[in-house]
Structure 1
Amino acid sequence: MPDSDSDATGDSGVAEYDVIVLGGGPAGENAAAYAIAGSDRTAAIVEPEKVGGECSYWACIPSKALLRPGHVLAAALGLPGIEAAGPDTAEVLRRRDEFVHAHNGDHDDSSQVEWAAQQGIEVIRGAGRLDGERRVRVGDRVLRARSAVVLATGTHAAVPDVPGLREALPWTSRDATNLREIPKRVIVIGGGVVACEATTWLSALGAEVTVLVRGDRLLTGVEPFAGEYVASALTAQGVQIRFGTRPLRVTRPAAVDHGEGRIHGGAVTVHAQGPDGETTLVADEIVVAAGRVPNTDGIGLDTVGLPGGYVEVDDQLTVSGVPGAWLYAVGDINHRAALTHMGKYQGRVCGDVISARAAGRSLTGPRYRAAADHHAVPQVVFTDPEVAAVGLTADAARKAGHEIRTVELDIAVAGSALARDDYTGRAALVIDNTTDTLLGATFVGPDVGEQLHAATIAVAGRVPLDALWHAVPAFPAISEFWLRLLETDRSSLPSGR
């Protein structure tokens, strides 16, 4: 339990904890748990919505629950002698609801609160804000941290400043992952991960989807061939992708907020500018997947001399520009790697740093620095086909000054042929010529996300290619493509190297 006493500024009943975390998502949960593990230190998580955060209820978990049935169906239809009907929408949504603990239109976070209690973490409901050094206000309550305050407030969906778009009450990712009814016609704005995944499950559930992409390809953060594979597959499923197209204005006279995941009123009209001029599109719903905005408004950054927006940190997740090494930021809010698993990783590093500083231990050693943020960030896009990537793309590696070579080939091994008759995929490696180690890897194909961790270990551990020759892939597994990549690379090198 926290200590309470009078504060020097006149506040009475100030509750003291060793660690206070603003934000109860996975990053904040990990930071709190690691900071107090194996000690008598105390921690509190301040959360205005649901403990478990965006990932548990509105992002990773529900989106993958919606995507998996389509993947399984495609895999089944890729084999002869198997007939399968389309997904049962009601059952797909029921299973999704089980994962997000949806009951009576809300999400139940009691299991997450119970987990926090088991870790010795107190959950405080409400919107927390900084109030000077080591101080946090939650409504009328004042909290004080003996060791650290951790900012883990995450981000929310951005809605572009397009005339009429906000008034049309578009769906954001929260609506798309928690959909209660399937719009017949959907317009998706964006070409990134959220846009591609939402398009995948909406199409699989029967919606007619049109995607408006400002640029000339999907998934600009990975190797170009990956976006090409996804675009080709979506197009084959009947999705219309309009590249070089941006919305000019949106009208929806009968816009009504019927609740999360429900169609928000009547038809929506989008006037868009494309390569061939202005065009008009009409749909039953519009999904905005155009980036994220940090949840930093109103959290008191100004009280510690910080501007708004994303919060800059060092590799120990300590906030830059705030003296005393007491303020930290983990997860999306620091804009280093906006992925749940990377936020959790940062939370673990942050918690270890807080624990070591509180106990007076040395901070030497790799466990006290978030090194993976710089060169070994893994990501899976759960489209069909999946995209799995880690480390640097070839373009990014060259821009960073590396002398590189690349190897790229189709995934065509015994394991992929046995997996399904229609298996198509591609794999690529980015290799540092100076050290002969991997800088990056990209795989595209069915279920390639399960192949990514081997590449992540190789990139993070800077494993020489000579050593990878002795990591023998099992036969007949799809992972045999690793051997083919190494063979292709060896055959391209001068004799004797």
Structure 2
Amino acid sequence: MMGSMTDAAYDLIVIGAGPVGENVADRAVQGGLSVLIVERELVGGECSYWACMPSKALLRSGSALRAAQRVPGAADPDARVDATAVLRRRSSFTSGWEDTGQVEWLQSAGIDLARGHGRIAGERVVEITGEDGSVRRIEARHAVAIATGTTAAIPPIEGVAETDPWTSREATSVTDVPRSLIIIGGGVVGTEMANAYADLGTTVTVLSRGGLLGGMEPFAGELVADALRERGVDVRTGAAIASTVREDDGSVAVDLEDGTVLRAEHLLVATGREPATKDLGLASIGLEDGDWLDVDDTLRVRGRDWLYAVGDVNHRSLLTHQGKYQARAAGDVIVARATGGEVDAGAWGVHAATADLAAVPQVTFTDPEVASIGRTAEQAEEAGLRIRVVDYDLGSVAGASLHADGYTGKARMVVDEDRGVVVGATFVGQDVAELLHSATIAVVGEVPLSRLWHAVPSYPTISEVWLRLLETYGRPTA
């Protein structure tokens, strides 16, 4: 019956061809399923063209220059980045916002692509409106996976929407560097773009209602704010915005509730994300259009045994690497269920996204970098754990002092005292991103501190901070 109502059928239909959707599709194809992936913009998604890749390319030149300047004799202390060269390099990583290479990869992997806007049109049916306005209805024999991600949320501040503000998309795809920029929001996007544009020569103001990098250990935001201010960025925490307006000369004026008026060439809104589910046809299956999609640990939408939501759209962890982790689990479990295979959905099972619960690694590529895994001290206490917090000055580690003159940073280890394992770690400092995977293994593997004493860090490296943290915690007893 269903087949007669549709134009074609596949075992799995994936809506959204970003890295998450691509990974779901790839795992399913490897498992023997036929897969159609639907994309209305560029294959490769937000990460490839407007987020991870271009933003890190914008940040890298400035961080590399400052790293060299912290080692006497390596670079002219008065040197500045070449903004034109930075933008050119950034564009190379987006392939000039052209997706031929990504499409060729889909073809090589055996994944069919439909260009257009995909919507759910009933149980296991997806309606695709093509670029030419044509409409097709495709049946999914086994499953549909939604991997549409998120879009920038515009805050309900008077006048903001009318000022035609930048979001992360405009900030990462800019062709001309603005003279001045006001950033609303002190999270990851706000702080990273403040770093990038300060390096490019823009006069930057950051307005945050709270502190910077909320949700992380408090010292992370404090150290990042200090570093931004040292580089001339006007960081205003506790800032309450009354309204914004686009002036006749094209500039943006931001009125603060304390009466202060700030002006800049552009306004960047970086106050969070919302699910890209407003026009997905969710109402046709009894769900709410525009909502986050609630899933179990196998990424299946609760109450719908054929529907999966993978990546940012399920609100478990809004990070590309976590979305790809979820995608591997989802693709494999879709194959298992479609072929009658065994489903391993218990904690840390191959079909369960267990790490989303308390073992999420994240790097904020500010200068200093912030690298974290697992629970903060506050989160661990809220979870009812009996913890001990161990802090250490990263600048006191021999490897750090060799790495850069005047090295400033801090490390924190959060220990579950009842089990004797690390449940969280945060590092702030130059190049600490490369410390993170060791911490991730310690947290995910629940490695006892007594065993970590035998993981000897090489000397002289910044990784020696692990030994210093353990020494501060205290020697193991027999």
TM-score, length basis structure 1: 0.92
Alignment match of 2:93 (pick from 94, 99, 102): 99
Could you say which residue in structure 2 is the equivalent of 1:445? 429
Could you tell me how far apart the structure 2 residues matched to 1:94 and 1:335 are? 34
Could you say which residue in structure 2 is the equivalent of 1:236? 230
Structure-to-structure mapping, 1:61-460, within 5 angstroms: 61-84=53-76, 85-102=79-96, 107-139=97-129, 140-215=135-210, 217-254=211-248, 266-273=250-257, 277-308=258-289, 309-322=291-304, 325-364=305-344, 366-411=349-394, 412-460=396-444
Could you say which residue in structure 2 is the equivalent of 1:484? 468
1:51 and 2:40 matched: no
Could you tell me how far apart the structure 2 residues matched to 1:51 and 1:82 are? 40
Given that 2:31 and 2:335 are in contact with CA atoms closer than 8 Å, whether structure 1 keeps it comes out as no
Could you tell me how far apart the structure 2 residues matched to 1:242 and 1:431 are? 33
Shift of 1:298: 1.2
Given that 1:306 and 1:321 are in contact with CA atoms closer than 8 Å, whether structure 2 keeps it comes out as no
Which deviations, in whole Å up to 9, do the C-alpha atoms of 1:380-415 show, x marking residues without a partner? 000000000000000000000101111001012221
Could you tell me how far apart the structure 1 residues matched to 2:414 and 2:309 are? 31
Shift of 1:462: 0.8
Shift of 1:445: 0.3
Given that 2:388 and 2:414 are in contact with CA atoms closer than 8 Å, whether structure 1 keeps it comes out as yes
Alignment match of 1:18 (pick from 11, 21, 27): 11
Shift of 1:364: 2.4
Given that 2:2 and 2:139 are in contact with CA atoms closer than 8 Å, whether structure 1 keeps it comes out as no
Could you tell me how far apart the structure 1 residues matched to 2:136 and 2:360 are? 39
Alignment match of 1:32 (pick from 25, 36, 42): 25
Shift of 1:82: 3.1
Give the SS at the match of 1:483. Answer: helix
Which deviations, in whole Å up to 9, do the C-alpha atoms of 1:263-317 show, x marking residues without a partner? xx711111112xxx22101111111001011110110111111123100000000
> In structure 2, what residue type is equivalent to 1:405?
R
Which deviations, in whole Å up to 9, do the C-alpha atoms of 1:162-197 show, x marking residues without a partner? 222111111110011111111111110001000000
Could you tell me how far apart the structure 1 residues matched to 2:325 and 2:75 are? 42
Could you tell me how far apart the structure 2 residues matched to 1:424 and 1:65 are? 24
Task: State percent identity of aligned pairs.
Answer: 52
- Aligned pair count reads 466
Could you tell me how far apart the structure 2 residues matched to 1:162 and 1:406 are? 38
Shift of 1:375: 1.0
Give the SS at the match of 2:341. Answer: coil
Shift of 1:20: 0.3
Shift of 1:321: 2.2
Could you tell me how far apart the structure 2 residues matched to 1:70 and 1:186 are? 18
Could you tell me how far apart the structure 1 residues matched to 2:183 and 2:25 are? 37
Given that 1:211 and 1:239 are in contact with CA atoms closer than 8 Å, whether structure 2 keeps it comes out as yes
Shift of 1:9: 8.3
Given that 2:58 and 2:86 are in contact with CA atoms closer than 8 Å, whether structure 1 keeps it comes out as yes
> In structure 2, what residue type is equivalent to 1:378?
P
**Uncovered stretches (5+) of structure 1, i.e. residues with no partner:** 1-6, 255-264
